[in-house]
Chain A
Amino acid sequence: MEAVEPQKYVLLALVAVLLPFCAFIRLLLAKNTSGSAFYAITGISLSFIISIFIFSNTWNEQFIHQQVDWFTIGGTTFRVGILINNLSVLMMVLVTGISLLVHVYSIAYMKKDPLIHRYWGYLGLFCAAMLLLVMADNLLVLYMAWELVGFSSYLLIGFWFTKDAASQAARKAFIMNRIGDIGFLIGLFILYTQFGTLDIQKLFGQDGLVLSATVHSDLWISSINQMPATWLTIAGIAFFMGAVAKSAQFPLHTWLPDAMEGPTSVSSLIHAATMVAAGVFLVARIFPLFNDTVLLVITITGLFTALMAATIALTQNDIKRILAFSTISQLGFMMLAMGIGAVDGGIFHLATHAFFKCLLFLAAGALIHALAHLKEKDDLDFDIQDIRNMGGLRTLMPVTFYTMLVASIALIGLPLTSGYLSKDAILIRAFEWAESKALIFTIVPYTALLVSWLTAFYISRLIFKVFFGKWRLQKGFKNIFTLHDSPAEMKYPMIILAVCCLFPLFSSNPLLFETSWILNGFHGTNSLQRVNAYHTIIPAAVNTISIMVMYICYRWYVKPGYSIANNNLLYRFSENQWYFNCIYDVLVVKPVNTFAKAIFWFERKVVDGLVNLTGRAGLLFSAISAWVDEYIIDAAVNNLALLAKKIGDFTRHFQTGRVQHYLVTMLLFVLTVFVLKYFSQLL
């Protein structure tokens, strides 16, 4: 019995992966939309049920690892299998659960789309890839799943492919992710070269190869190989680069706001709850690899991203963009947690964040959905995602309002919510971490605090602007009062999520994160003991100030009279997203300007953001190489042909048709031989 058990779970897990994939295959071959939702939802619900089953049986149990031979290359056999431990089952449940809700939500949200079967198919692919990602026991498979989620994200962002912005955003997302993937790949090379295997359990397990490798006088020595110690750092950075791109961390974050061009349901599932968290997941999976340098890099990147994205979110007006930056910011938070060694905190926050951020997006989707109806009905032209165009919707769409409010509070981290628990876990750990370090490192926890207050501000701003006050656009809205809450398919997932944002799901004690079962599931450190003052002071301080911030926000946005100047430098700095897109532009444009005339036609191909950096420089290179190809390499060949013709002409030159010329030439040739011989004799 004991032996059979693990196999059963592994097989079930495999089924959980394959079910959405089968749905994908079935829908790829589908000719029309009929019944498409059924396949998709059946697939994901079964997956969810299986996940719950596995979760309930294996949480906090011995990990389960089963493998089969995949292929053999040289002496190395790649084995592929499924690794079920706390991290993967948690992620499984999270992914399938949220997916299921988003699937249900999508029934109504995407109802009228003519290509909806494709949409379901893509979602199926995403779910399968994501599940594979979390369960993979081999870094190569993980990488494959990693790219596949990127690919499905590409498909889903560009789902409305006739929209140029959407297809551009999709491409940008894919290419930026590719940059990270290259890092991931390089990481793989290093690990494979160093350890000869890519098996996660072998590498990162309890007495895995990574831990047993030593760094000794600038050499990183494993049992089979050794290389300079810098490669250890490079490996860490490389893997982290993959995570940076996937989790939209600075400097590869610009794709995420653009990805909002996709359907909102997709944004909520992929770009808020699950896929973007894969970066954090990866860091958690391979955590033993990171040395201090890399951890510091992770910390700083996470912190900076969190701060930067939060400040940007302050001034954005597009409802989805605010949420996107919020996501970036929160992901930065999780990275920060990873960097300071609070893996458990990071994962915990990942889990809680998944619920409330998904909910925020779904609610935003509900708003957009409703406004889109209105727009269509009244035949009006206004930006349905601009929060400046909304207001006072609290009464018209109460369910949306309340669910979103719950999610926002969770995001801010007020007590009784899940966010309170996870955010505190990270903050407190950050303070503890800084304590053991030099003074300069105290910047880290304090900045984190600042970020959480900024979070409180921007999300309050969102809520107040959308739901409070009055409807801002007056003219032509005859039917404004026909606005109502979404249909049931959308409403109930939101309500369920709202419930999940509250504390009971995660902890028995609403105020003490230490009691959270998720944290305890990850080999809790002694920091879970309330050993010092931080555990008390910080939650109190955070919440007090957060509430103050919310009040200020309320005064500014709801009560008339207080208004902030929206044209000062800081405001614009924030509104323009720290000018990152521009910086990426300018960094390239200036050097390129000198060549502008020569390559201007390539401008049409230029992509923005960081892609500009590589893209424009790349295009410049490509222009140069094309030029080299045409005028140097090819010309050299053609000139050779010309040379041949010239030699031919030279020989023809003698062929004048006069026999006496021939004779003279012939004799001159002969004489040359004589003369040469003669002189060589003389010398």
Chain B
Amino acid sequence: MIPLAHFLIISAILFCIGLYAVLSKKNAIQVLIGIEFMLNAGILNFVAFSKYDRINSGGQVFALFAIVLAAASVAVALAIILNVYKKYNTIDPSKINELRD
């Protein structure tokens, strides 16, 4: 048996790697990848916990829905990023700062 905590720690590390990518990458697609990592970290947790929830299978179902939603939002995000690229010719989030105080 793999201890539950190990799953959780892996997911925590993954989450933080994703977070780092989101915060530091200067390419919107990489930022998206970071977000996916964070989502995956969450999904991993769900799945890991779901092992102990046989009757409701809440975790697994949640994981499934989360994957689907992630895919949907990635599709939307990519569509938007493409548009941004058309207007700005860059997808560096730090350069897209026309809207500011």
- For residue B100, which residues in chain A have a CB less than 8 angstroms away from its CB? 655-658
B22 touches A652 (CB 8 A): no
By secondary structure, the A interface counts as: helix
Which residues of chain A have a CB within 8 Å of any CB of chain B? Answer: 652-653, 655-661, 663-664, 667
CB of A658 within 8 A of CB of B93, answer: yes
Are A660's CB and B97's CB within 8 A? no
**Alpha-carbon gap, A657 to B95, bound state (A):** 9
The 6 A-B pairs of least Cβ separation, nearest first, read: A657-B100, A657-B97, A655-B101, A652-B101, A658-B94, A658-B97
Enumerate chain A residues within 8 angstroms of B93, measured Cβ to Cβ: 658-660
Chain A residues lying within 8 Å of B97, measured Cβ to Cβ, are 656-658
- Tell me the nearest residue of chain B to A664, going by C-beta: B23
Residues of A within 8 A of B31 (CB): 660
- The distance from the CB of B84 to the nearest CB of chain A, in whole angstroms, is 11
Q: Is the CB of A660 within 8 A of B101?
A: no
Cβ < 8 Å to A, chain B residues 79-101: 93-94, 96-101
A659 to chain B, nearest CB (A): 5
CA distance A657 to B96 in the complex (A): 7
Give chain A nearest CB distance to B49 CB in angstroms: 22
* Interfacial chain A residues near B99, Cβ < 8 Å: 657
Say whether, besides A658-B93, A658-B94, A663 and B23 are in contact (CB < 8 Å).
yes
**Residues on B with beta carbons closer than 8 Å to the beta carbon of A658:** 93-94, 96-97, 100
Q: Within 8 Å of chain A (Cβ to Cβ): is B24?
A: yes
Contacts of A659 in B (CB 8 A): 93, 96
> How many whole Å from B48's CB to the nearest CB in chain A?
23
Q: Which of B1-28 contact A (CB under 8 A)?
A: 19, 22-24
Q: Shortest CB–CB separation between residue B53 and chain A, in angstroms?
A: 28
| Pairwise interchain contact A657-B22, C-beta atoms closer than 8 A | no
Interface centre among B23, B97, B100, B101 (most CB of A within 10 A): B101
A663 touching B101 by the CB < 8 A rule?
no
User: Nearest B residue to A654 by beta-carbon distance?
Assistant: B101
Q: How far is the CA of A663 from the CA of B31 in the complex (A)?
A: 12
- Indicate with 1 or 0, residue by residue over B20-44, a CB within 8 angstroms of chain A CB atoms: 0011100000010000000000000
Q: List CB contacts (< 8 Å) of B46-100 with chain A.
A: 93-94, 96-100
Tell me the complex Cα distance, A661–B101, Å. 13
Contact between A660 and B98, CB atoms less than 8 A apart: no
- Which residue of B has the minimal Cβ distance to A648? B101
Closest to A659 in B: B93
| Chain B contacts for A663, CB-based, 8 A | 22-23
Cα A661 to Cα B96 with chains together (Å): 12
Q: Could you say which of A656, A657, A663, A667 has the most chain B C-beta atoms within 10 Å of its C-beta?
A: A657
- Cα-based distance from A370 to B24 in the complex (angstroms): 107
Chain B residues contacting A664 (CB-CB under 8 Å) are: 23
- Min CB gap B62→A, angstroms: 23
Complex: A41 Cα to B44 Cα, angstroms: 115
9 further interface pairs, Cβ-Cβ under 8 Å (given A657-B97, A659-B96):
A653-B101, A655-B100, A656-B100, A657-B98, A657-B101, A658-B93, A658-B97, A660-B93, A663-B23
Question: How long is the Cα–Cα vector from A305 to B15 in the complex, in angstroms?
Answer: 100
User: B64 to chain A: closest CB distance in Å?
Assistant: 28
* A655 partner residues in chain B, CB cutoff 8 A: 100-101
> Please, which residues of chain B bring their CB within 8 A of the CB of A661?
94
Give the docked Cα–Cα distance between A660 and B94 (Å). 7
